[in-house]
Chain A
Amino acid sequence: MRREHPLARVEREVKLAPHHRLDLVREVDADVRAMQAEMERRGYSPAEARREAIRRLVPAGEVVEQLEDRHAPGLGRWLRTDGRSLQADGRADRVTRLGVGGAAMLGGAVGIVATVRPGLSGTAMALSWALVIVFALLVANLARVAVQLWVRGDLRARQRRLFWARHAGLIVAAVALGAVGAAWEGYQVLTNTGQVDSSALLAWETAGTMAHFAATGLAAAIFGLFGWLSVSPRLIADQEIERRITEFFAQDRARLTLNISASSIHESKGEP
């Protein structure tokens, strides 16, 4: 069975930004090794020395929460204010949920102003409202990413992929709705040929509505793309640090495998 690094669980559980996690893992690991060596010098067996060092130095339980409080981003710390009390009654979560909801409503309002126009036909009106909802969801998704990054400080790779998948889906939906709306407007006019023949002005108006639909869908998609681009530098930096964390634990595993093979060679040769 593969032995897990004693800090791997802490790294998985602690809700901190990657650079804080990397620093913590490096600091504690170096201290555990040094303390183990010191304990061995004092007569402990290697296994006992390691156990003692881990017991004294590896954060567990409440200490992990204290570290989260200490290294939470400024806004997150302010929301936690008096530590546990705010967390316990869930006020911090409610505040962030309200923030995300507020951003989504604001996005929806902007979407209504930009998209919904009086005089649209039933289907076109439904498509407009769908576009409004997609825009609001894009804003909400970005707000949730921002909360994870700048309030909670921790957006893990799995969550990041989930947010991006949702965001990409919404961007595609915005473009699709814009295109379908525009096509629908055009189709309406084409199937009603009498109206086209009767007025060039109406044709011009139809072209305007089609362009408006397409432009609104495209604008929502561009907003989504640029919104994601604006958080990308932080996401890329986090990804790079997470790669270093993975590398750190991989090196430890490689060293452990080498130690185990070396000791089995000694044992097979009958050496101590």
Chain B
Amino acid sequence: MTQITLSKRINELLVLAVLDSGPAHGYQIALSVEERTAGAFSFQHGTLYPILHRLEAEGRVRGEWHGRGRRRKTYEITEAGRAELTSGAAELERQFRALLGLLRGTHAA
């Protein structure tokens, strides 16, 4: 599996989590992430697009163009994306538990 940084991984999971509730445009994903995390996470300077395009290329989300003239792109999660979200969330939970345990001095080696 490709090595990606933790922040990239979190961003991917944030996008997948938003799309798990239904198809959305890019801007809706950005706003939803900000709202649902009470501003703890936000996408700035278009950081959302490389993530969306990577997920699309990997088949974890599906992008579709709609409308004529000024066309808009809608994204929806795929089955592979849902599986990734479940496994990714579990993995992240394990990592954060370990991290918090270490930070709070309660981690049992």
Contact = CB atoms under 8 A, between A and B. Distances in A.
B27 A53 contact: yes
B50 A63 contact: yes
Contacts of A32: 27
A223 B11 CA distance: 51
A237 interface: no
Contacts of B43: 56-57
B70 A63 contact: no
Contact of B72 (A30, A56, A70): A30
Contacts of A55: 44-45
A61 to B, nearest CB: 7
A30 B25 contact: yes
Contact of B27 (A38, A61, A67, A70): A38
B47 A63 contact: yes
Interface string B41-83: 0111111111001100100000000000011110000000000
Nearest to A63: B46
Given A27-B26, A30-B71, A71-B53, A58 B46 contact: yes
B31 A57 contact: no
B16 to A, nearest CB: 17
A61 B48 CA distance: 14
Interface string A10-38: 00000000000001101111111111001
A95 interface: no
Given A32-B27, A34-B25, A67 B50 contact: yes
Contacts of A181: none
Task: Say what secondary structure dominates the interface of chain A.
Answer: helix
A269 B67 CA distance: 37
A27 B73 contact: yes
A30 B42 contact: no
Given A30-B73, A55-B44, A60-B45, A38 B31 contact: yes
A195 B54 CA distance: 75
A38 B29 CA distance: 13
B30 interface: yes
Instruction: Identify the interface centre among B25, B53, B54: most chain A CB within 10 Å of its CB.
Output: B53
B30 A56 contact: yes
A31 B54 CA distance: 18
A76 interface: no
B53 A26 contact: no
A47 to B, nearest CB: 18
Contacts of B26: 27-28, 31, 57
A26 B28 CA distance: 16
Interface string A68-108: 01110000000000000000000000000000000000000
Interface of A: 23-24, 26-35, 38, 53, 55-61, 63, 66-67, 69-71
Given A31-B72, A66-B50, A69-B50, 12 more contacts: A27-B49, A29-B70, A31-B26, A33-B70, A34-B25, A57-B30, A57-B49, A59-B46, A63-B49, A67-B50, A67-B53, A70-B54
9 contacts: A27-B26, A27-B72, A34-B25, A56-B30, A57-B43, A58-B45, A59-B49, A60-B45, A66-B50
